[in-house]
Copies of this chain bind each other. A is one copy, B any other.
Amino acid sequence: MTQDSLALQAIRRKLIGKSLTYDEIFAVMDAISHEKLSPILTTYFAASGYSKGFTNEEIYYLTKAMIETGDKLQFKGIVADKHSIGGVPGTRTTLLVIPIVASAGFLIPKSSSRAITTPGGTGDDMEVLAPVTFTKKQIYRIVEKTNACIVWGGSVDIAPADDDLIKVEEPLMFESFDKILVSIMAKKIAFGSNHIVIDLPYGSHMKVQRKVDAEHLKGKFEYLAQRFKVTLQVYLHETTQPAGRGVGPLLETREALKVLEQTPDRPLDLEEKGLTLAGMLLDLCLKDSPKKLQDQVKNEFGDGKKWAQYILSSGHALKKMREIIGAQGGNPAIISDDLHPGQY
């Protein structure tokens, strides 16, 4: 049987509720990623997961096949990342977590996911400060120079089947949790991350509304992490209000810069949230770090969050952010006051 007819057969089998093998799922992802599957057939595949859902095994296969049918990045040693599952705008902690963790000495190459149901992604925020579209080679160079990058995920061919699936999911205005999971994990793993914090807020205005669903999703993230042999922690918390006061790339970026600059009028809730996530990620990275570093951090700061606090308040995070902006071709001297609403 050819790959194409195997893909079609797999879609039909999944539609009537059968479980799929890795070969079948690979055939579907391969056909999608090489644009050999029409939008109609891609839609049937997207639809096939709603009723019975995918088994954990199938979710692993899906994620793996998405990674294998696209490009991959590879780094040495500990590679950190954090991902926030949003739902409301104004909850951007990326521009805080990245420079803090990079300043601590860990690699943290960040590919921002495309906005699906929210008006803008982190890539939009970073683009206020610097270009975000780079080749794989350029990304390696930026990360080598600064320990970090904040780039548009679409600029490299990472998990390309995911983008096509998102396209046919958009008109339905209805995401399944399994697809959020697969989409995030495929992009993280393909980007080479092996120490990951998932920020999973739940609440009536969030993407995940009920605690029980959030806990279920948390379990699936942990399952996938174990299958891919990566270290992952899910930060589950109830949220009623977005952090920060700004909505839209320009205001969000200005808020984040104010925190990095430690201005008196900075949004303290956003700072607190950024420190919590950065602290978690630092603790996660520390566990696999040399004993010497572990002891040093413990003695000097106490824990990851206090380490993050020091990096932020000492101005190291701001300095690192300026390095990253510069390496990505932006103006490293930019300050929050330069960003005026209506400028874009």
- Residue ranges of A at the interface with B (Cβ–Cβ < 8 Å): 8, 11-12, 15-17, 38-41, 43-44, 46-48, 50-52, 168, 171-174
Contacts and interface: CB of A to CB of B under 8 A. Distances in A.
A45 to B, nearest CB: 9
Contacts of A171: 38, 40-41
Nearest to A172: B44
A339 to B, nearest CB: 37
Given A8-B173, A12-B174, A173-B8, A44 B47 contact: yes
9 contacts: A8-B172, A11-B172, A15-B172, A38-B171, A40-B172, A41-B172, A44-B47, A44-B172, A48-B50
Closest 4 CB pairs of A and B: A47-B47, A51-B51, A15-B50, A43-B43
A40 B38 CA distance: 11
Contacts of A172: 8, 11-12, 15, 40-41, 44
Nearest to A48: B47
Given A17-B51, A44-B46, 10 more contacts: A11-B172, A12-B174, A16-B50, A16-B51, A38-B171, A39-B40, A43-B44, A47-B47, A47-B48, A48-B51
A38 B170 CA distance: 12
Q: Copy number of this protein in the oligomer?
A: 2
B51 A15 contact: yes
A52 B17 CA distance: 8
Contacts of A40: 39-40, 43, 168, 171-172
A31 to B, nearest CB: 12
A135 B12 CA distance: 38
Contacts of A168: 40
A241 to B, nearest CB: 28
Contacts of A47: 15, 43-44, 47-48
A19 B38 CA distance: 29
Nearest to A17: B51
A41 B168 CA distance: 9
Contacts of A8: 172-173
A173 to B, nearest CB: 7
A36 to B, nearest CB: 12
A50 B44 CA distance: 10
A35 to B, nearest CB: 15
Contacts of A15: 47, 50-51, 172, 174
Contacts of A173: 8
A15 B47 CA distance: 7
A39 B171 CA distance: 10
A180 to B, nearest CB: 15
Nearest to A52: B51
Contacts of A52: 51
A166 to B, nearest CB: 12
A50 B14 CA distance: 9
B41 A39 contact: no
A17 B176 CA distance: 13
Contacts of A12: 172, 174
